[in-house]
Amino acid sequence: MDCYQTFRKLVITCRLHKRIVEREINQLGLHGSQHHLLMHLACHDGVTQKELASQLKVSPASVAVSLKKLESEGYISKEMDQKDNRFNKITITEKGKIMVEKSRQVVVKIDEAAFESFSEEEAQQLSALVERIYHSMEEIPDGFGQENAPK
């Protein structure tokens, strides 16, 4: 089996999915990073900008740019943290919640279209196989690929 080609197909498929989602989400008026932040906030409402950056593993500066745009569009609001005045809690507004629901509907439609030629059993098998790959890769230590590399 050619694992390289299999992974290449997985990566290309994930990139295609991302491109299609971004294209459709853009039509709603959101752009990639803004959409990503808004969807994350839907599950982690009330976090600080610093916490958000840490959770998403991005710089606070890049989060700040997207948050500013989301706030100006009315999707989020910032409120002073009652426990520590140095921080603002970021919360989703009603308008933001509506956009999250619209976004979810778009992504569900795309995902359903991607799997429409699969039986329920095939979809479950694929999910289980991808999960096994994920767990195997989680176990790969840093430097693993360097063990037999020429020096």
Task: Convert 129-142 to b/e letters by CB count within 10 Å (16 or more is b).
Answer: eeeeeeeeeeeeee
Query: If you write DSSP's letter for every residue of 107-123 in order, what string do you get?
Result: HHHHHHHHTTTS-HHHH
In a domain, 106, yes or no: yes
DSSP symbol at 66: H
Q: How many domains does one find in the chain?
A: 1
- What are 134's two structure tokens? 């994920």
Q: What is the pLDDT of residue 32?
A: 79
Does position 19 have pLDDT exceeding 70, yes or no? yes
Question: Is the residue at 149 inside a domain?
Answer: no
Name which of 22-36, 43-57, 79-93 the model is least confident about: 79-93
Structure tokens at 27: 């039509």
Q: Is 147 within a domain?
A: no
Whether the predicted pLDDT of 150 surpasses 90: no
CA-CA-CA-CA dihedral for 104, 14, 45, 92, to nearest 10: -50
Which CATH number is 9's domain given? 1.10.10.10
Return the pLDDT at 121: 97
Strands laid side by side in the 76-80 sheet: 47-48, 88-92, 76-80
Output the average pLDDT for the chain.
91
- Tell me which residue range forms the domain holding 21: 3-138
Structural domain contains residue 144: no
Q: What mean pLDDT do residues 28-37 have?
A: 90
Terminal CA-CA length for the chain: 28
Predicted model pTM: 0.80
